[in-house]
A and B are shown apart, each in its own frame.
Chain A
Amino acid sequence: MSLVARYLERNGIPTVVMGAAKDIVEHVGVPRFLFSDFPLGNSCGKPHEPDTQRFTLDLALKVLESAIGPRTTVQSPLRWNDDGDWKLDYNNLERMPPEEIAKRRAEFDKVKQTALDQRKKAGVA
């Protein structure tokens, strides 16, 4: 998605990315980025909390309007929860017993095959 932002921007369309994976978006490098420090899937605010969604969109628009140069990142001041413990869960091997890793390995082999078949069918493999 960051690649699309760059492409549009380079071709005359100003962009703002609303995202939650700060390292990835900044590694690619985008013109404007509103970062929400939330679990992936919540770039636009918290579930069933329209006030946080409104706040987040409003902030993204302000970043779009006011950034003075590329690679502008603004971090939303909203917090997902008080302790931030969710950050220790995502794909964290240290919190996974060996049998869980084995199970995921088997699932992943299946997913890889499905994705490959799909890409072949779509002619992009």
Chain B
Amino acid sequence: MGGFDFALPQRQFCAMADTANFAPDFDAPLEYMRRTREYYLALGYDNPYRWAHYIDAPFQPLKKKLSDSTLALISTAAPYQPGKGDQGPGAAYNAGAKFYTVYSGDTAVDHDTRISHIGYDRKHTTAKDSNTWFPLPLMREFANQGRFKLAKRFHGAPTNRSQRVTLETDAPEILARCRQDQVDAALLVPT
């Protein structure tokens, strides 16, 4: 296992030395909840979204080595849907491209997935390279190298803003599909 592989060019990493020349205060993980609340309040929406929140979290250790485990990809990306408006790259927020039931796809082939239905960073991201939100091709490569076994299907999780539907319908459906495919572990990529 080991730690980080620092074979990447140094420019990719933060400076390592501790001096009194601190980083600027703003350069910390962005407070999306606060930013979002203030933003929608300014847009005249005074019924702020309440994010799900729990004190504890469940935990299951891997039951076998990762190389012997079947790993499934779960994604919030949408399949490209012709006729549902501009889905990018670079499209404005497109609520019409959302999907409302779990979908699955064959991991042996490539898929055209989009994120125009999600509030990603449209100023600093063009959404031209789907590998930044849908790592299926890379997972296939890792699986071919023996790192894990790739589940035969990936699953798309709806982002319809109804936590009740997520808890009572979508999550159980994704679990059922993972069980059908004898999945041992899951990699989830929200956007």
Query: In the assembled complex, how far is the CB of residue B84 from the closest CB belonging to chain A, in whole angstroms?
Result: 10
Report the bound CA distance from A66 to B190 in whole Å. Answer: 21
Report the bound CA distance from A102 to B131 in whole Å. Answer: 35
Interface range, A side: 35 or more
Binary contact track B86-99/A, C-beta < 8 Å → 1, others 0: 00000011011010
Assess the B100–A124 pair: CB atoms within 8 A: yes
Assess the A7–B95 pair: CB atoms within 8 A: no
* Total A-B contacts with CB atoms under 8 angstroms apart: 276
Assess the A4–B171 pair: CB atoms within 8 A: yes
A→B interface (CB under 8 Å): 1-19, 21-25, 27-31, 35, 37, 39-48, 50-55, 57-62, 64-67, 69-71, 75, 77-80, 82-84, 86-93, 101, 104-105, 107-108, 111-112, 114-115, 118-119, 122, 124
B→A interface (CB under 8 Å): 1-2, 4-5, 8, 11-14, 23-24, 26-36, 38-40, 42-45, 51-63, 66, 74, 76, 92-93, 95-96, 98, 100-101, 115, 118-121, 123-129, 131-135, 138-139, 142, 147-148, 157, 159-163, 165-167, 170-172, 174-175, 178, 183-191
**Given A22-B29, A62-B1, A124-B160, list of 8 further CB < 8 A pairs?**
A1-B157, A14-B184, A19-B189, A22-B30, A42-B132, A48-B128, A62-B2, A77-B4
